[in-house]
Chain A
Amino acid sequence: EVQLVESGGGLVQPGRSLKLSCAASGFTFSDYNMAWVRQAPKKGLEWVATIIYDGSRTYYRDSVKGRFTISRDNAKSTLYLQMDSLRSEDTATYYCATYNNYYFDYWGQGVMVTVSS
Chain B
Amino acid sequence: DIQMTQSPASLSASLGETVTIQCQASEDIYSGLAWYQQKPGKSPQLLIYGASSLQDGVPSRFSGSGSGTQYSLKISSMQTEDEGVYFCQQGLKYPDTFGAGTKLELK
Contact = CB atoms under 8 A, between A and B. Distances in A.
B89 A101 contact: no
Interface of B: 32, 34, 36, 42-46, 49, 55, 87, 89-92, 94-101
A107 interface: yes
9 contacts: A44-B99, A44-B101, A45-B87, A47-B96, A47-B97, A59-B94, A100-B49, A102-B34, A104-B44
A40 to B, nearest CB: 12
Contacts of A50: 94, 96
Contact of B91 (A46, A61, A62, A101): A101
B49 A105 contact: yes
B18 to A, nearest CB: 25
A86 B97 CA distance: 22
A95 interface: yes
Interface residues of A, number: 21
B100 A107 contact: no
B44 A95 contact: yes
B107 to A, nearest CB: 23
A61 B95 contact: yes
A96 B87 CA distance: 17
A105 B44 contact: no
B99 A95 contact: no
B89 A45 contact: yes
B84 to A, nearest CB: 13
B49 A110 contact: no
B49 A103 contact: yes
A90 to B, nearest CB: 16
A105 B55 contact: yes
A47 B98 contact: yes
Contacts of A102: 32, 34, 49, 90-92, 96
A112 to B, nearest CB: 12
Contacts of B42: 109
A108 interface: yes
A104 B43 CA distance: 12
Contact of A103 (B89, B99, B100): B89
